[in-house]
Amino acid sequence: MAHVAEWKKDEVNDLKELIDNHEVVGIANLSDIPARQLQKMRQTLKDKATIRMSKKTLISLALDDSKKEGDINALNDYMDGQPALVFTDMNPFKLFKILEGSKTAAPAKAGAIAPEDIMVPKGDTGFAPGPILGELQQAGIQAKIEKGKIVVQKDQVVVKAGEEVSAKVASILTRLDIHPMEVGIDLKAAYENEAVYTADLLTIDEKKTLSDIQNAFARAFNLSVNAVICNKESMPAIIQNAATKSLNLAFNASILTSKTSEMLLAKAYAQMLALASDASEKDSGAVDEELLEKLAASATSAPAVEEKKEEEPEEEEEEEEQEEDAAAGLGALFG
């Protein structure tokens, strides 16, 4: 039976202890990261996360012997390049964001795979005419001399996403100060609460996610208000909605209250003005003629009344004289 070196046993035990004592365990690839940049990243993660590089076999043994529940062994499937374990108590999405944010631009190396299209932009390269013009053209970049400078004629993709960067293109990109690659801790997967989250799940569009949450909240809020489901958020809106409906009902039914009295008076006044205006426009001519007729009638009838009143005393005097004459006649007859 082969003897296992003590340092390997100690390494496995140390890794197991770190795994069991942290809520989140991630597996990362540290390939092609310069020592200086790796040191800066460790400082960025200080008091937030611990990075531990080790051999793949030792990492695998530590994961297999872990006391964690769930399929933590699934992290073995994501050990690429130079593997390292990342230990933290922050949620894996926040860890992924921090690691992605700590990445820095780096020049392309020959043989590297382009993570996305690599483009050389149109414009002045800053180089004077010389051998570099031929190198640009050999790399498939359209360039010419203008006003004593080498100028790229149009935006041009020199390497498509997923393709390998050739040595010639890598050299040109470096001379043009184009750094299309990113260097940093590449988190492949992370374990938390018996679940393993891969990098594609940990990559979140924050603006879209926030927008989705806001839309979901708005829909839930509208549902709770319209269905009269009382909760902390919906109660103020439900009460306000009920108050508005009751006020509208009282107003439309002409029910006088402290809230509706001024509104109803204003409504009545406005209706009165509208009715008066409408009547004035439609009947103004007829009203004027009627008034004129009444005035004319009163003007012609007034003198007749006065003459009648003046003649009444004369008729009474005549009657009295007739009565006196009659009396005198009777006196003469029977005297």
What is the pLDDT at residue 38? 82
Chain center to CA of 108: 38
Residues 96 and 239 in one domain: no
Residues 81 and 190 in one domain: yes
- Residues 105, 177: contact at Cβ < 8 Å? no
What is the pLDDT at residue 282? 65
Average confidence (pLDDT) per 10 residues, the chain, 335 residues? 78 93 92 80 84 92 87 90 92 90 83 86 86 83 85 87 88 87 88 92 86 93 91 91 90 88 88 83 57 52 43 53 50 41
What is the pLDDT at residue 306? 42
What is the pLDDT at residue 269? 87
Rounded to whole angstroms, the Cα distance separating 47 from 41 reads 12
- Structural domain including 194 reads 6-103+184-202
Give the DSSP H or E segment for 181. Answer: strand 181-183
Residues 39 and 130 in one domain: no
What is the pLDDT at residue 318? 57
pTM over 0.75: no
Counting beta carbons within 10 angstroms of the beta carbon of residue 199, is it exposed (0 to 12), middle (13 to 18) or buried (19 or more)? Answer: middle
What is the pLDDT at residue 293? 59
Residues 25 and 81 in one domain: yes
What is the pLDDT at residue 70? 82
Residues 214 and 191 in one domain: no
Residue 293 lies in a domain: no
Q: By three-state DSSP, how is residue 301 classified? A: helix
Residue 312 lies in a domain: no
- How many structural domains comprise the chain? 3
Residues 28 and 82 in one domain: yes
Rounded to whole angstroms, the Cα distance separating 188 from 84 reads 10
Residue 318 lies in a domain: no
Residues 73 and 168 in one domain: no
Residues 71 and 13 in one domain: yes
